[in-house]
Amino acid sequence: MEEGTDIGSELFAAIEGLRMAVVVISEHYASLRWCLAELAKILECREHMGMKIMPIFYKVDPSDVNEARFGEDDLKVLQWWKALFEIAG
Adjacent-strand bridge partners of 56: 24
Adjacent-strand bridge partners of 52: 20
4-24: pLDDT as tens digits: 556 788 899 999 999 999 999
For residue 38, indicate whether it is catalytic: yes
Residue 15: which residues within 8 A CB-CB, separation 6 or more?
A: 21, 38, 41, 42, 45
What global pTM score does this model have? 0.69
The pLDDT confidence band at residue 50, using thresholds 50, 70 and 90, is: very high
Q: How far apart are CA 68 and CA 37, in angstroms?
A: 15
Q: How far apart are CA 76 and CA 37, in angstroms?
A: 9
Identified catalytic residue from 27, 38, 47, 72: 38
Q: Three-state DSSP class for 27?
A: coil
CATH architecture of 7-88: 3-Layer(aba) Sandwich (3.40)
The domains of the chain are located at: 7-88
Report which of residues 1 and 19 the model is more confident about. 19
